[in-house]
Amino acid sequence: MILCAGRNETFDFAKPIGVGLIESAMNLTKLVLEEKPAFLFFIGTAGSYGNYKPLELIHSYSAANIELGYLQNQCYTPLQNQIDANIIHVSRGTNHLSPIVNSSNYITTDSTLSKKILEKNMELENMEFFSIVSVANQFKLPCSGLFVVTNYCDENAHNDFVKNHTKAKELITLHVEKNMKI
């Protein structure tokens, strides 16, 4: 089953599950219970903490949920905040494999904090992927994600996202159509 966030990030060949950690977890759980898919493949856009450039295509099966307060030693969590999915091998032709995708309901706009996240070996930021991997693991489903970078996580994040979003969606569509025979 191919998934996407929704709202302004939809694709004809993917099921929208909602934006952010909560919407995506609730809607995906319902979808899994009703449709019983054999695998989950999430497609979407991501911000880069610095190592990946806009419009690069990235495949991942590793997700984290690190909030910025954690980097500043202002909070802690008793929960597991980094997970790997059961892997599905559906993507070919991507530039890089298995970077950690950090998820939060907030977009990072501070380049100093982006560098701190990068030092923790997290490469990308996408609002939904941690929820998707969590749900997939709960139901023992293979899962992975395909992302196109739209922006760096800095003070220009929103403007660059808007500027690159249409092209990023086109790249995702081309890659999925070419490699998944939809």
Lowest mean pLDDT among 15-29, 30-44, 73-87, 98-112: 73-87
2-6+14-21+39-180 folds as: Rossmann fold (3.40.50)
**22: closest CA among 109, 135, 124?**
135
Q: Residues 106-130: pLDDT tens digits?
A: 999 999 999 999 999 999 999 999 9
Q: Residues 142-162: pLDDT tens digits?
A: 999 999 999 999 999 999 999
% of the chain residues with pLDDT over 90: 82
User: Is the pLDDT confidence value at 96 over 50?
Assistant: no
Q: How many CB atoms lie within 10 A of CB 145?
A: 26
Q: Read off the pTM.
A: 0.91
Name the token pair of 165: 């979003």
User: Is the pLDDT confidence value at 55 over 60?
Assistant: yes
pLDDT of residue 182: 59
Average model confidence (pLDDT) for the chain? 92
* Distance, CA of 129 to CA of 118 (rounded, Å): 17
pLDDT of residue 91: 46
* Distance, CA of 93 to CA of 90 (rounded, Å): 10
CA angle 77, 79, 84 (to 5 degrees): 125
